[in-house]
Amino acid sequence: MKEINVTGQKRADLGKKASKEIRKQGLVPCNIYGEKKDANGVPEAFSFAAPFSELRKIIYTPHIYVINLNIDGEHHTAILKEIQFHSVTDAPLHVDFFEVNDQKPITMGVPVKLVGLAQGVRDGGRMNLTMRKINITAPYQQIPEHLDIDVTALKIGKSIKVGELSYEGLEIATSKDVIVCSIKMTRQSQQATDDAAEEGAAAAAE
């Protein structure tokens, strides 16, 4: 994965009013979680704020990143976990990060990249991508920017399921039965097939 740097500052004042004031300053309220848990087994987090100008690079993108957080001089390596958006403006209201390390594998969604021109598309079909990300479990350094899927041989009416995929050093966490992509017959290609069948039948009858 690509890396990106984000700076932040710890928050002392929490709550809705404080968060609103932070947003007025061009900052976004954030939490970072790690492996540490409280007495009830709930992951502990500490709060900070980061500039929207830096966060937008990792929020409004289909790409995934390893994020190097510098929070008042403390360094953390993390991934983006969850974003809350305003229902009207689509502005980020809150961002959660998850701290990662070299030892423990993580699970995250990795974008799918279809490679090649499918035979079914050559024949007039339409590619239907139903799974844009596949969950992968691995140490964060081994997680790629995207997962290549060769669709060259895929024909009309056929599909590729998660269970047909494998990647060295990566464990696929998404259910094997999930369809990643398929090729549907378009109306035009169906009409062409029907016309060809009618012509063939007519020729045979002569």
CA 168 to chain centre: 20
46 vs 84, higher pLDDT: 84
Q: Under a CB-based contact definition with an 8 Å cutoff, are residues 83 and 94 in contact?
A: yes
Average pLDDT, integer, range 11-27: 87
Please name the helix (run of DSSP H) or strand (run of DSSP E) that holds residue 77, with its range, or none: strand 74-85
pTM: 0.79
Domains of the chain with CATH codes: 2-100 (2.40.240.10), 107-198 (2.170.120.20)
Q: Which of 72, 41, 67, 42 is nearest to 54 (CA)?
A: 67
Does residue 1 have a pLDDT over 90? Answer: no
- Measured CA to CA, the distance from residue 140 to residue 108 in angstroms comes to 9
Question: Taking the CB of residue 59, how many other CB atoms lie within 10 A of it?
Answer: 16
Q: Under a CB-based contact definition with an 8 Å cutoff, are residues 29 and 8 in contact?
A: no
Please name the helix (run of DSSP H) or strand (run of DSSP E) that holds residue 136, with its range, or none: strand 133-138
What is residue 122's DSSP assignment? H
Does residue 38 have a pLDDT over 60? Answer: yes
Q: Under a CB-based contact definition with an 8 Å cutoff, are residues 156 and 107 in contact?
A: no
- Measured CA to CA, the distance from residue 69 to residue 97 in angstroms comes to 10
201 vs 25, higher pLDDT: 25
For 78-109, b where at least 16 C-beta lie within 10 A, e where not — what string?
Answer: bbbeebeeeeeeeebeebebbbbeeeeeeebe
Using pLDDT thresholds of 50, 70 and 90, give the confidence band for residue 16: confident
Does residue 192 have a pLDDT over 80? Answer: no
